[in-house]
Amino acid sequence: MTLRLLLPPLPAIPPVAVPREVRRMVRLTYLTALTTFFGYILLIAFGVLRDLVRKLLDWFKSDDLKGYAPICPPFEDFYTRRIYHRIQDCFGRPIASAADAWIDVVERHSNDNDKTLRRTSNTSRCLNLGSYNYLGFAAGDRYCTPRVVESLKKYASGTCSARADAGTTKLHIELEELVARFVGKPAAITFGMGYVTNSSIIPALVGEEGLIVSDSFNHNSIINGARASGATVQVFRHNSPSHLEEVLREQIVKGQPGAHTPWKKILVIVEGIYSMEGEFCKLPEIVAICKKYKAYVYLDEAHSIGAVGKSGRGVCELLGVDPADVDIMMGTFTKSFGSCGGYIAASEEIIQHLKHGCPAHLYATSMSPPAVQQAISAIKVVLGEDGSNRGAKKLARIRESSNYFRSELKKMGFVVLGDNDSPVMAIMLYNLAKLPAFSRACLRQNVAVVIVGYPATPVLLARARICISASHTREDLIKGLKVISEVGGLVGAKCLPAEPEKAKKMD
């Protein structure tokens, strides 16, 4: 009985099952899975031991909570305290410059074993392979920046009001018309933040008697929006049109839970590029299935708008899908256009309905006018309406750079996820210990990479994610490849056989 009081409550076991298709795609062998598992168990065991010691030491300390339950129960943040804090220095690295191809990473040091990190005034210039700067608009641009400064002086930095009150300026109307024209839909509506766009639009479209079928790898904002709507949510296997068809058939026949009345409407939500894998969604097949079963399609193009497609119009252009077949197209201005905010493009009636009833439009502060101007100017550059062909050049450059980088990484023997033409790619590391080793070793050689582990990815599939930008030159990419090859070799991430050097020399 006393032993039970001594032992701290164990953390929740995260789901470790990896579906077969995903295992094949990421080349997860049994040996890798076992060693990764072993690593986790060791870390958890040490964490539990340390918690036990802490509990014993605090046994006789007075309880200063005095009748309140702790604001954060010990098992809820076990992962944060015992596992994440060991590698805290790899995340949240502050920078002291624009998020361009080269950034000034601020050095941090710690006095208490990485529990808290303090900024120093030293910075180191690093190659930036982590920011979402696909078209290179993050830093100043010779067309955009003067116009942004002009709009700042005319409209000030904020409107202090919701769009439905006094927050609509001429710039907002211009941006909405431009976005609708760019994407190929009749009308559009913009919001100040991409996350809020998803969380407040989905409840306005589907209510409690509807069904939402969403891809298993969808982003947190979509999950929150689906939950807030009160509709029933079903998940289909990642990027699997056949499983989507199965789920739709089963659900239409079954109807609503309880009374089995038919569903009022069904909304299928997919993303253009899945940012953790770098692969495109199988849009033509999914749209065909949704047409057959009369479900509505919601496409989230946060990462793909402006970055893929011949003229930058996203996955619809790339995969040959008519925008009229997709009911709702959502996107953000943060990644490719160097601004902030999100938009929804759909038919006139849907946009009218959203303007009347969507909470973000009625209550949330409208987008800051300089950010609106940046989005307008960036889209004009991409369309070529600024009088130059810089937009087309940027699109060609990002396509070439991503394909070059990915093929070189594959040649070196890394397991790389990501489709052709996608500016996002992931290098599989699997093992939790390899993540900080990779990140710190790259930083020492002045390359800034992003590592992701649980809970953003499945437990056994930790990876390093690379985002290519149109502002990376060929020399930058070669330097990045050299450093990654060296560090990857040290860390043991080259799981596949490399292409032999001799074959390359003979060409």
- Using the rule CB under 8 A, give the single segment among 37-45, 49-57, 167-175, 314-322 that binds other proteins: 167-175
13 binds other proteins (CB under 8 A): no
177 binds other proteins (CB under 8 A): no
- Using the rule CB under 8 A, give the single segment among 46-54, 63-71, 385-393, 401-409 that binds other proteins: 63-71
Least distance between other proteins and beta carbon 413 (Å): 26
5 binds other proteins (CB under 8 A): no
Residue 257: DSSP 8-state: T
Residues from 179 through 238 that contact other proteins (CB under 8 A): 192-196, 199-200, 203-205, 219-221, 224, 227-228
Residue 334 burial class via C-beta count within 10 angstroms: exposed 0-12, middle 13-18, buried 19 and up:
buried
* Among the listed residues 424, 413, 418, 439, the one whose alpha carbon sits nearest the alpha carbon of residue 493: 413
Least distance between other proteins and beta carbon 64 (Å): 12
* Among the listed residues 402, 185, 384, the one whose alpha carbon sits nearest the alpha carbon of residue 304: 402
What is the rounded distance in angstroms from the CA atom of residue 124 to the CA atom of residue 39?
A: 32
What is the rounded distance in angstroms from the CA atom of residue 201 to the CA atom of residue 196?
A: 8
Least distance between other proteins and beta carbon 174 (Å): 10
314 binds other proteins (CB under 8 A): no
Token duo for residue 231: 């509709």
In 120-159, which positions are buried (b, 16+ CB within 10 angstroms) versus exposed (e)?
eeebeebbbbbbbbbbbbbbebebbbebbeebeeebeeeb
- Detail the DSSP E strand segments found in 175-323: 187-191, 211-215, 232-236, 266-271, 273-274, 279-280, 296-300
- Using the rule CB under 8 A, give the single segment among 35-43, 61-69, 436-444, 479-487 that binds other proteins: 61-69
Least distance between other proteins and beta carbon 152 (Å): 6
Least distance between other proteins and beta carbon 221 (Å): 6
Token duo for residue 400: 């070439």
Least distance between other proteins and beta carbon 439 (Å): 11
Q: How many residues bind other proteins (CB under 8 A)?
A: 119
- Using the rule CB under 8 A, give the single segment among 131-139, 280-288, 399-407, 412-420 that binds other proteins: 131-139
CA 37 to chain centre: 26
203 preceded by cis ω (within 30°)?
A: no
140 binds other proteins (CB under 8 A): yes
Q: Pairing state of beta strands 118-128 and 102-109?
A: antiparallel
Residues from 99 through 128 that contact other proteins (CB under 8 A): 99-100, 103, 105-106, 119, 128
Residues from 447 through 466 that contact other proteins (CB under 8 A): 448, 450
67 binds other proteins (CB under 8 A): yes
Least distance between other proteins and beta carbon 450 (Å): 5
x-or-dash string of contact with other proteins, 327-366, rule CB under 8 A: xx---xxxx-xxxx--------xx-xx-xxxxxx-xxxx-
Amino acid residing at 79: Y
Residues 401 and 468: beta-carbon distance below 8 Å: yes
Q: Which residue has the tokens 């990501």?
A: 418
170 binds other proteins (CB under 8 A): yes
Grouping H, G, I as helix, E, B as strand and the rest as coil, residue 103 is: strand
